[in-house]
Amino acid sequence: MKVKELRDTLSTFDGEMLVYVYWEEGADHQYFGIDDVATQTGTPVRLDNEKVTFEFGKDGPATWVCISISPE
């Protein structure tokens, strides 16, 4: 999802609503509160299992918006 898509979607909700991240993995369901949103520079890396991760570093070629979360 890109910033514009996220912003457009969030703009349709009441500005006083809380936002949580919901993660479902098998039978486990977890909720996370959002602590911070900031840009980070680094290098996207594709793992052997085809998932993408991000190595933080000031000289990286990419800038991503990162959302910091903590378990609720």
Residue-wise pLDDT tens digits, 14-67: 999 999 999 888 888 899 999 999 999 999 999 999 998 999 999 999 999 999
- The pLDDT, as a whole number, for residue 11 is 95
pLDDT score of 28: 86
- Is this prediction's pTM over 0.85? no
Residue 25 has what pLDDT? Answer: 82
pLDDT at 39: 95
> CA–CA separation, 36 vs 21, rounded Å?
13
pLDDT value of position 9: 95
Cβ within 8 Å of residue 37, ≥6 positions away: 65, 66, 67, 68
